[in-house]
Amino acid sequence: LLCGAVQSHWELLFERARKLNAAAKDKPFEALVCVGRCFPLPIEYLAGGSKQVPLPTYFLSGHEAARSWQEDAKQTEIFDQLNAEKQSTEPVQVGERFFCLAGAGVANIAGLKVAYVSGTETHGSEEEKGTLLTYSKASAEALVQQLHADGDQGDVDFLFTAEYPTSFQLLLPEQQLPHGLQAMRGSSAIRQILQQVHPKYHITSRGGDGTRGDVFYQRLPYVSEVAGTGRKQLTRLIGLSGVNKVKDKTRKYLHALQVVPFAQQSAEEHQHVDIPAGTTQNPYLHAMLEEATSRSGEPDAKRRKLDPAATGGLSAEQIEQLTSKSQGGAQFFYDQRLAVKGQRKGGLIPGDQQQRRNNHPVVPQRTECWFCLSTPTLERHLIVSIGQKAYLAMPKGAICGDHLLIVPIAHEASTMALDEDTWREMERFKSALRRYFASQDKELLVIDRNVATLGATHCHLQVVGVPKAKAEATRRVFETEGERYHVKFEELQAGA
């Protein structure tokens, strides 16, 4: 059971938790984790107190107001004790089944491997004020090293932080972001962690008793590739509101999850991750690449200042080189301008902005990709199935009822640039469609779409089911139409 910033409303929270556990009957919650502002703590539930928490409870401190503990001697004593704690793999016990996640560390909660960072990020030359209230980039880097030192590629079920990371808003349509979060700066150190560690869930809470950003928020999931393994990992960011009595779904402060720990999953389950429609790329890696490429106009010495630890060991120059490969490189296109020479009257007219000679309005130039899953305007309702490397979709302007698209998730302008795993998965989609159309007495026609279009070019396969009675005429149609535009088709032998 997850909770946002408690902000002194401990009794309200515990009463709600008791009711939820009672309603759960045979499947009570195993733990309650509170993220964000938590002081003042409930004295009666601490060591020596008269009350006991309803279930094992863990809290992660956020940006605490000094008055929340300085006005009470007991609160001050507890705060000073927690603030002096060193980074530990064990939560600090403050009462019976009551624990504090202090500093930056790793722990096991109810069988789940969790990483946590308490407090807010220090900036510039500001000194850390202990481990409870603040953290630095150095402590964030140490946490990443600790996670990777475990030998499991940094696999972690949860990451708990009291701050949103910088750049979480990237790759999202504006309407998917609550107004209070659109301009939030966030923590660059937390972003640095998420560039290298890919938890199943990232939980945070802005808190603030209804102030700007104190909202319940679920970001569209994003997918990352785990370094050195080739496998994908899906991460969901959830922001919780602070504890409140308001009946408003935008102020939801409790969220229940049932999670199978990484440690209990098989290698096959690790490799096969279901990627739902709407999933974006990792926004934090996207931000890193944007920053690297934006420095291309700066002197070499200045560009080399990009932190290699945050880029998986790649220098700015290497990142730029890889980025340019995906954007350009050895791609091959059918030259539309050459074909213009053979066009007949009424056909296409020359020029980069070719339009048919009719009264239809000019299609505006697109700047985003039609087919990238991270594109905000992607027509997601047309997606049929998403695999690990490719997805199946219906076209917006189908030529018949049996017209489908097989699209690689990676943005490449030519299928020649796709890796073997992607091509293999696209072949599996083709095989499934071939069997389906065969059951309807149809043949499978596949067209490798590799023509520059409006906006960014994203290669894909156009697939059409053709009745067997008409399949034999398909070749003649292509050859006849090709002659009109001085295009000659060459037949390739099987296996060539």
pLDDT (tens digit per residue) in 462-490: 999 999 888 878 877 888 888 877 888 88
Range in 170-174, 180-184, 373-377, 430-434 the model is least confident about:
373-377
* pTM for the predicted model, two decimal places: 0.62
Average pLDDT for 394-402: 90
Q: Are residues 271 and 169 in the same domain?
A: yes
Range in 80-94, 251-265, 346-360 the model is least confident about:
346-360
Mean pLDDT of the chain: 80
Average pLDDT for 19-41: 90
Range in 5-9, 159-163, 322-326, 361-365 the model is least confident about:
322-326
Question: Residue 409 domain-assigned?
Answer: yes
The listed range with the strongest mean pLDDT (365-369, 389-393, 480-484) is: 389-393
- Residue 324 pLDDT greater than 60, yes or no: no
- Residue 351 pLDDT greater than 50, yes or no: no
334 vs 192 pLDDT, higher one: 192
Question: Residue 224 domain-assigned?
Answer: yes
Q: Work out how many domains the chain is built from and give that number.
A: 2
Give per-residue pLDDT as tens, 401-452: 999 999 998 888 888 889 999 999 999 999 999 999 999 999 999 999 766 5
What's the pLDDT band for 292 if we cut at 50, 70, 90? Answer: low
380 vs 32 pLDDT, higher one: 32
Average pLDDT for 151-159: 83
| pLDDT at site 68 | 67
Q: Which residue range(s) make up the domain with 262? A: 2-289
CATH of the domain at 39: 3.60.21
Average pLDDT for 176-201: 92
- Residue 303 pLDDT greater than 60, yes or no: no
Q: Are residues 378 and 267 in the same domain?
A: no
Question: Residue 328 domain-assigned?
Answer: no
270, 289, 308: which is the final residue of a domain? 289
Question: Residue 334 domain-assigned?
Answer: no
CA distance 146 to 156: 12
| pLDDT at site 115 | 95
- Residue 363 pLDDT greater than 50, yes or no: no
469 vs 95 pLDDT, higher one: 95
Question: Residue 331 domain-assigned?
Answer: no
Question: Residue 175 domain-assigned?
Answer: yes
12 vs 287 pLDDT, higher one: 12
CATH of the domain at 391: 3.30.428.10
